[in-house]
Structure 1
Amino acid sequence: MRTHLKRLFTALCLCAAVGAGAQTAGQPPVPAPVRIALIESLSGAFANTGEAVFRNLVWATERVNARGGVKLVGGPRNLAVERYDSKGQNEEALAALRSAIDDGVTIIAQGNSSAIAAVLIDAINKHNEREPKKRVLFLNYSAVDPILTNEKCSYWHFRFDAHADMRMAALMDVLKDDKALKSIYLIGQDYSFGQAVLREARKQLGTQRPDVQIVGDELHALGRVKDFIPYAAKIKASGAQAVLTGNWGNDLTLLIKAAREVGYEGKFYTFYGNALGVPGVLGEAGVGKVVAVADWFPNEAGAQSEAFYQSFRQRFPKPQDDYVHMRMQLMVEALAQSLDKAGSAEAGALAAQLERSTVTFAGHQGAMRAQDHQFQQPLLVALMGKQGSPGVKFDVEGSGYGFRVIKTISPDRAEQPSSCKMVRP
């Protein structure tokens, strides 16, 4: 009886398949999309950061597809983002890269770890040399260790975020004018990016504010600390008037939460304090005390910027999904532009166009520097405030708190020299 039912089920499936084929007979096949492999933490401690990136990239590709997709030789094609979970681990990321290449993807996107970005660059360089007919390129939206566009620069790698030294210089543009500041505590994640942030902090403090005493300087394990109370207690006991950190994801949220719980009342100079739970955790205690640097903020002045943000909130109305980055939108716009000009998703043809790309979107403009493939764009520094206060029209994640832009740095001022010696194919 079971065998009969199984055969009947198989027959029904075959009939359905034949029927479906008959319905589409004579119609032109739907062109396969140009696929982007997102290799990111989609599970584990930093899954929320990976999901946030996924929303940004999907929204950007939806916009491109709505206007007809990209114009390749043979006809228009849509863009599609495919998910590959790195679990935040180098080996998993390399396995994901191999899977994406085996699946025929030619465009890789990653960013939420400079350590992972570094191993992907090495692996892609080797693959492209070994398999010149199956080359891939790497779009980096957030991995900001300066080495990636300096000593480790690659023709196949394009960074669309400002690197850590650029972000630090922007923060210092504000910190140097805080004349009341006399002591600071440096804390970061113990991997390439976190180390680079603290190294540059020491350097720039020595140049810009030699009068400020560094009363703490430490690194902690990446993504493994569940209780930051001991760190927060040390910060408070040090007497530091401010904390400077490049922490991101839960490592930043938990650090900020612990600082509040121990009663620390100093300022936080951060790279990423404007999202992923930080404003909600701090509440009123963060007003006027949390400084963040980014390529864009929701409260940036201008009708185009406001319309851009409101359209994102319409697409993703849940407060917890409120994480949008202009650079990710510019990255996809630059990709679409370059695909149009290349007429192909082949990595070599695409890279040749991408390294000369200049893109404008929602009132923002950026350009890829061909020397090192470091994107050049404005940087903004903002201060946390209560929604409804001057300069804070929009809050973050429904927290009632947002960020007021206090400094805008032009691309010319944000730009820094590079030691890249680009090897071109």
Structure 2
Amino acid sequence: MKRLIGSTVLALSLLGATAISALAQDTLKIGYVDPLSGGGASIGQIGMNQLNFITDEINAKGGVNGKKVEIVGYDNQTNPQISLVQVQKAIDEGIKVIVQGNGSSVAVAVSDFITKYNDRNPGANIVHLNYAAIDPVLTNEKCSYWHFTWDASAAIKMEALTNFIKDKKDVKKVYLISQDYSFGHAVAGAAKSMLQAKRPDVEIVGDEFHPLVKITDFAPYVAKIKASGADTVITGNWGQDLALLIKAAGQAGLDVDWYTFYAGGAGGPTAIKQANLADRVFQINEGINNQGYGPAEERAGALMKRFANAPVYYPRMFNMMDMVFQAMTEAKSEDPGDFVPKLEGMKHNSFAAGAEGFLRADDHQFFQPLYISTLGPLDAGQKFDEEHTGWGWKMAAEIPTESTLLPTTCEMKRP
């Protein structure tokens, strides 16, 4: 009798394990390794929300190759060392697709780790989908076959920004301030060299770096900017480092124009409105709400209805996941070894305006139209405000895809 019971328990255990295994095989799990706590959590959670929204969309259509898609979050606290622990944890749990973006130092560490892992484990490939880390090294000297990026690099964005600035004769004294890590230094370096080439008359009156997501009071930095006599600030800051910087500038009555990459992030629009900087804070990105493109407005509206207190901060994330799901469908496989070749050279109509972009095979950089915009009171006909401020982004300039095509020094090692 005991033997019969033991056999029955064993059989049920094996049946349960088989059912769990079958369930796992029917689920495509994607690891999201980004800040979900600490100073970067506000933008990390926005990314998580957007990924969940996108996967719910695809699951409603039957999933990918018949499999339900699930996003699994791994909190990296914007720390490269913690990130690698989390990536290894994801790999140990059977995940082959890693999404990461915030923090170029993190992205470089993750890309290097995944590339070495794939070299050591042929056939057990992992891919790194980067939606926000834009240090140019990632698509130049540190490029990898297993890394793809959907955000324009710091060099591409600064090229467009300085082309815009060069025709503004009121720009005479520029103060540079960014976070003290690889991306911040890339922004400052590109700004200095490009301004020197295009507007040698412009004086750089400050070149400041500060710790990443650790400053809570930017008043001392704003005092330096004010004392410098600057009329313009260029910053690569993102997340709380941008919002708190703008807030401090408003409190100090700093009278300058701002050129940014990430003013649309969590807290940014609110800080701009509170500082009363209507149409004085410029950002460059791949699209804004109120661009008038119906499919994007419908999708953005649904996202904002679900997550009412978060902006559509990552239009490029729609591009990224739509393209990856298409590549998996074409390859009839969710294995990176099978679907990565489908991504190379893929063309895709960008989310924001429907204009065509493409993924360059040489360095795995996605090229798309870019837009320079300013935040101010809503114009007639605009549907979306930002963070319930009553202010929205307005187009200041459009940069077509062909004008963003900077060369690459990538010498990609292919499997």
Q: Return the TM-score normalized by structure 1.
A: 0.89
Cα 1:355/1:343, change in 2 over 3 Å? same
Deviates more, 1:320-329 or 1:194-203: 320-329
State the partner residue of 1:357.
346
State the partner residue of 2:299.
308
SS in 2 for 1:219: strand
* Distance of 2:303 and 2:313 partners within structure 1: 7
1:286 aligns with 2:280: no
State the partner residue of 2:155.
165
- Displacement after TM superposition at 1:393 (Å): 4.2
Count of residues paired in the alignment:
398
Cα 1:212/1:29, change in 2 over 3 Å? closer
* Distance of 1:141 and 1:30 partners within structure 2: 26
State the partner residue of 2:357.
366
- Displacement after TM superposition at 1:394 (Å): 2.1
* Distance of 1:79 and 1:217 partners within structure 2: 45
1:92 aligns with 2:86: no
Which of the numbers 307, 310, 317 marks the counterpart of 1:321? 310
Deviations 1:164-194 (A, max 9, x none): 0111122123212211111110000000000
Which of the numbers 43, 46, 50 marks the counterpart of 1:52? 46
- Displacement after TM superposition at 1:132 (Å): 1.2
* Distance of 1:183 and 1:390 partners within structure 2: 35
* Aligned partners of 2:350 and 2:368 also within 8 Å: no
RMSD value, Cα: 2.1
Which of the numbers 113, 138, 142 marks the counterpart of 1:148? 138
Deviations 1:220-266 (A, max 9, x none): 11111111100001101111001000000111111111111111011
* Distance of 2:313 and 2:40 partners within structure 1: 17
* Aligned partners of 1:269 and 1:290 also within 8 Å: yes
Q: Which stretches of structure 1, 4 residues or longer, exceed 3 Å deviation after superposition?
A: 28-31, 390-393
1:78 aligns with 2:72: no
* Aligned partners of 2:238 and 2:265 also within 8 Å: no
* Distance of 2:291 and 2:194 partners within structure 1: 27
* Distance of 2:399 and 2:264 partners within structure 1: 18
SS in 2 for 1:133: coil
- Displacement after TM superposition at 1:295 (Å): 0.4
1:129 aligns with 2:113: no
Structure 2 unaligned spans of 5+: 1-7
Which of the numbers 394, 405, 409 marks the counterpart of 1:415? 405
* Distance of 1:360 and 1:216 partners within structure 2: 40
* Aligned partners of 1:273 and 1:290 also within 8 Å: yes
* Aligned partners of 2:123 and 2:337 also within 8 Å: no
- Displacement after TM superposition at 1:392 (Å): 4.9
- Displacement after TM superposition at 1:366 (Å): 2.4
SS in 1 for 2:325: helix
* Distance of 1:165 and 1:33 partners within structure 2: 38
SS in 1 for 2:39: coil
State the partner residue of 1:248.
238
* Aligned partners of 1:275 and 1:396 also within 8 Å: no
* Aligned partners of 1:276 and 1:323 also within 8 Å: no
Residue type at the aligned position of 2:370? L
Residue type at the aligned position of 1:374? Q
Which of the numbers 161, 168, 180 marks the counterpart of 1:178? 168
* Distance of 1:327 and 1:402 partners within structure 2: 19
Which of the numbers 336, 347, 367 marks the counterpart of 1:376? 367
Residue type at the aligned position of 2:166? K
Residue type at the aligned position of 1:125? T
* Aligned partners of 2:43 and 2:265 also within 8 Å: no
- Displacement after TM superposition at 1:364 (Å): 4.4
Q: Return the TM-score normalized by structure 2.
A: 0.92
* Aligned partners of 1:312 and 1:324 also within 8 Å: no
Residue type at the aligned position of 2:49? R
* Distance of 2:131 and 2:43 partners within structure 1: 12
1:205 aligns with 2:195: yes
* Distance of 1:98 and 1:30 partners within structure 2: 19
Percent identity of the aligned residues?
39
